[in-house]
Amino acid sequence: MTDRSPVIYPSDADGVAAVARVLREGGLAAFPTETVYGLGADARNDQAVAAVFEAKGRPVFNPLIVHVPDMAAAEELVRMPDAAVTLATAFWPGPLTLVLPVRPDAGLSALVTAGLDTLAIRVPDHPIARDILRAAGCPVAAPSANPSGRISPTTAAHVVSGLGGRVAAILDGGPCAVGLESTIVSCVDTPRLLRAGGLPETDVARVLGQHLSEAGPGIVAPGQLSSHYAPRGRVRLNARDARAGEVLLGFGRVDGALNLSPSGNLVEAAANLFAMLHQLDQMDAKEIAVAPVPMVGLGVAINDRLRRAAAPRHTADSVG
């Protein structure tokens, strides 16, 4: 593990080529997607994938999402039942990850799937990300580019402050448009929601023509432990105002030191969420109050992340 600063590349053809080369050669590179920045590694290279876990301080049993440039590349790695084809056709590229049976000859590092016979895979909707994936020519395993248990990065500066010299290269593509991680749906059998995220569950259900089954106990995404996405301060939810010593993160008319969306727009709130949690860390906020966010559309995923931010902290086993 080095402590040299990462090389930060601008969002142009040379930057894409440089980051793709780092990935091909087995290095770690962070790149923007529409959801959050990913910490990428060649998914076929055991050493590179192991370096991802090391850089994040992540427990190795937690499998990673593999990123590919299009559905054809996905089909080389996984079997796609009808429901998966329907969802991929409707939402790829986009903030949807599908968990699918991995092909035995996919050639992936066993660390990527943490030994499961399923693979989480997605096609990101970000032109730079897809250019990098095409130029790299390999499937890219990429968890969010933050230290395990900390807030996901939505800017290159967040990556620098979280991972610093543990990543060789960062492509700076500006802030992420969605700002929440992808929605994860398992299509191994009946479609199940494993993680609420940047694609509202209602959109998925509409395209499938059926409600999603809840993930029963034991079939949750392994990364979904309760303490996650945590700023350093203690978090109190559904606050209408700030108590003494608290910094209020507002929403809509419940205004605070920061406001996720003064107009009460959930898309804007999602895009701001992680950046504002980072800002609360920078402000050294010890006690954080968060305004209520309605449980509709992207509000479901926003509240999921906020609940994790407010959960009693794990230390050794918080992941992500």
- Residues at the site binding ligand TXA, with contacts judged by CB under 6 A: 33, 35-36, 38, 62-65, 97, 99, 113, 116, 118-120, 124, 142-144, 181-182, 184, 194-195, 221-224, 320
By C-beta, is 147 or 250 nearer to ligand TXA?
147
Element (H, E) at 27: none
Counting Cα atoms < 13 Å in the Cβ hemisphere of 179 gives 21
Closer to Mg ion by Cβ: residue 179 or 320: 320
Among ligand TXA, Mg ion, none, residue 64 binds (CB under 5-8 Å by kind): ligand TXA
Both tokens of residue 105? Answer: 């000859």
Give the nearest distance from C-beta 134 to ligand TXA in angstroms: 16
CB closer to ligand TXA out of 182 and 259: 182
Closest CB 36 distance from Mg ion, rounded Å: 7
Determine the 3-state secondary structure of 78 from DSSP: strand
Smallest distance from ligand TXA to CB 223, Å? 2
| DSSP run (H or E) holding 140 | strand 140-141
Helix axis angle for 82-91 and 201-208, nearest 10°, is 120
Other CB atoms within a 10 A radius of the CB of residue 38 amount to 29
Q: Which is nearer to ligand TXA, 130 or 195 (CB)?
A: 195
- φ/ψ bin of 216: left (φ > 0), alpha (ψ from -120 to 50), beta (otherwise): beta
Length of the chain: 320
Residues within window 135-174 making contact with Mg ion, judged by CB under 5 A? 144
CA distance 272 to 53: 27
Q: How many residues bind Mg ion (CB under 5 A)?
A: 2
95 lies in the binding site for Mg ion (CB under 5 A): no
> Residue 105 half-sphere exposure, CB side, CA atoms within 13 Å?
2
Measured distance CA(247)–CA(92) in Å, rounded: 38
Taking CB positions, which residue lies at the least distance from ligand TXA?
Answer: 223
For residue 71, the minimal CB distance to ligand TXA (Å) is: 16
- The answer to the question of residue 320 lying near Mg ion (CB under 5 A) is yes
* Nearer to ligand TXA (CB atom), residue 222 or residue 264: 222
Tell me the Cα Rg of the chain.
19
Please, which of residues 217-276 interact with Mg ion by CB under 5 A? Answer: none
d(CA 4, CA 175): 24
The residue among 120 and 177 lying less far from ligand TXA, judged by its C-beta, is 120
66: which DSSP letter? Answer: E
How many Cα atoms sit within 13 Å of 140 on the Cβ side? 36
Q: Residue 224 binds which one of ligand TXA, Mg ion, none, with CB within 5 to 8 A depending on kind?
A: ligand TXA
Shorter beta-carbon distance to Mg ion: residue 162 or 320: 320
With respect to ligand TXA, which residue has the nearer C-beta, 22 or 254? 22
Please give the C-alpha separations between residue 9 and each of 5, 22, 157, 164, in angstroms, as whole numbers: 12, 12, 12, 14
To ligand TXA, the closest distance from the beta carbon of 162 in angstroms equals: 12
Question: Least distance in Å: CB of 42 to ligand TXA?
Answer: 15
Q: Bridge-partner residues for 288, per DSSP?
A: 235, 247
Report, in Å, the least distance between residue 247 CB and ligand TXA.
26
Query: Minimal distance in Å, beta carbon 229 to Mg ion?
Result: 8
Per the CB < 8 A criterion, the answer to whether 304 and 196 are in contact is yes
> Binding residues for Mg ion, per CB under 5 A?
144, 320
